Amino acid sequence: MSNLHIIAPNDSPNTDGIDIGSSTNVFINNSTIETGDDCIVINNGSSFINISGIFCGPGHGISVGSLGKNKKYATVEHVHGGSGYARNITYENIILVGVKHPVIIDQFYDPRIINNIGQAVKVSDVTYLDIHGTSRGKNAIELNCDIIIGCTNIVLDNVNITRVYGGKAQTICTKAHGMCSSCYPDVPCLSQNSSIIRY
């Protein structure tokens, strides 16, 4: 899919632009998605999803979620309350405009499972490259990982997100491990590295 323009009011709930589930080899590029909820969602059973050149906002951005929801083995080659994994995910060349949650990994997104420590879907090898834009909320980057399982090999490279309404954009960072290079705002739980090698 390419050259799409999807619009919904920014205050309209459940208006995902594109939902992908149980799919392989999906390409979405060079598109504008302006919705009140997620621009794009990648759900259970999906692999080899390529998303690039997306103008996204003001909703929740591009999400990988609802994994492990039914306690089944979730495979997306993100992110709570079940078994399975989310791995080998790359977000690249994305422009965010007034997005509610620009960069988020949350193994406790569902408040009903907040106390189920050690039962999160495993998250690893997630890369954010060349992500720029603005956040409507104070937290531009949220990495909220399980204290036992954690999130591993999280890489942010050339990420710059400022607040729409002024003030310093902030980061929430719990038990995420990886590297950050040229990141704003700073991501204190990730190692600062000025020379991440791209392949």
What kind of fold does domain 5-192 have according to CATH?
A: Pectate Lyase C-like (2.160.20)
Lowest average pLDDT, out of 44-53, 112-121, 188-197, goes to 112-121
Amino acid 167 reads G
For the chain, helix, strand, coil in percent to 5 are 0, 55, 40
pLDDT for residue 170 is more than 70:
yes
Lowest average pLDDT, out of 98-102, 130-134, 145-149, 193-197, goes to 193-197
Cα-Cα-Cα-Cα dihedral sign, residues 159, 165, 170, 176: negative
pLDDT for residue 158 is more than 50:
yes
**Residues contacting residue 159 through CB under 8 Å, at least 6 positions apart:** 103, 128, 130, 131, 132, 141, 180, 182, 183, 184
Mean per-residue pLDDT, 11-15: 87
Angle, vertex CA 171, rays to CA 169 and CA 177, nearest 5? 150
69-128 pLDDT, tens digit per residue, is 543 333 333 344 455 778 888 888 888 888 888 898 887 766 655 556 666 778 899 999
Q: Which of 40-49, 78-87, 126-135 has the highest mean pLDDT?
A: 126-135
Q: Which tops the pLDDT comparison, 160 or 50?
A: 160
Q: Would you place residue 164 in the very low, low, confident or very high pLDDT band (cuts 50, 70, 90)? A: very high
As a whole number of Å, the end-to-end CA separation of the chain is: 25
Angle, vertex CA 94, rays to CA 88 and CA 99, nearest 5? 105
Where do the domains of the chain lie? 5-192
| Best CA proximity match to 91, nearest among 105, 110, 81 | 105
pLDDT of residue 42: 84
Q: Mean pLDDT across the chain, nearest whole number?
A: 82
Mean per-residue pLDDT, 149-175: 93
Active site residues: 60
pLDDT of residue 110: 60
* Token code pair at residue 57: 């906002």
The b/e string for 107-121 (b: 16+ C-beta within 10 A; e otherwise) is bbbbeebeeeeebbb
